[in-house]
Amino acid sequence: MAPGRRHCCASSCNSPLFPVWLLTLSLAAIYSGVDKSWIGPAFRWAEKLNPWAMPDVFLIGCAIGYSRIEPYVPVSIGAGGWCMISAGLMAMVTRASLDQRSIWRRIQAPALSVLQQEHVTCTICNLLIAASAEGQRCPRCQARVWRRKPYAVERAAALTIAGTFLYPVANVYPMSMFSSHFVHTSHTIFAGVTDLVDAGLWPLAALVFTASIGIPFLKLAGMAWFLLSIRQCSDKKLVLKTDLYHLIDEIGRWSNMDV
Provide, rounded to whole angstroms, the least separation between the CB of residue 126 and Zn ion: 7
> How many Cβ atoms are within 10 Å of 26's Cβ, its own excluded?
23
- Residue in 22, 53, 91, 138 binding Zn ion, rule: CB under 5 A: 138
Residue 125 within binding range of Zn ion, rule CB under 5 A: yes
Count of positions on this chain that bind Zn ion (CB under 5 A): 8
In sequence order, what DSSP letters do the residues of 7-21 get, joined into one string?
Answer: EE--TT--GGGHHHH
Distance CA 86, CA 64 (A): 18
- Which residue, 43 or 226, is less far from Zn ion as judged by CB? 43
Piece of 31-39, 78-86, 116-124, 203-211 that binds Zn ion (CB under 5 A): 116-124
Residue 124 within binding range of Zn ion, rule CB under 5 A: yes
Give the DSSP letter of residue 144: B
- Which residue, 3 or 150, is less far from Zn ion as judged by CB? 150
Alpha helices, DSSP H only, in the chain? 18-31, 39-53, 55-69, 79-97, 100-106, 152-172, 189-198, 202-209, 215-231, 238-251
Residue 42 within binding range of Zn ion, rule CB under 5 A: no
- Which residue, 120 or 125, is less far from Zn ion as judged by CB? 125
- Residue in 10, 17, 46, 122 binding Zn ion, rule: CB under 5 A: 122
Piece of 65-73, 131-139, 178-186, 218-226 that binds Zn ion (CB under 5 A): 131-139
In sequence order, what DSSP letters do the residues of 62-107 get, joined into one string?
Answer: HHHHHHHHTTTS-EEE-HHHHHHHHHHHHHHHHHHH--HHHHHHHS
Question: Which sign, positive or negative, has the C-alpha torsion 61, 51, 251, 186?
Answer: negative
- Which residue, 46 or 91, is less far from Zn ion as judged by CB? 46
Positions touching Zn ion (CB under 5 A) are 122, 124-125, 127, 138, 140-141, 143
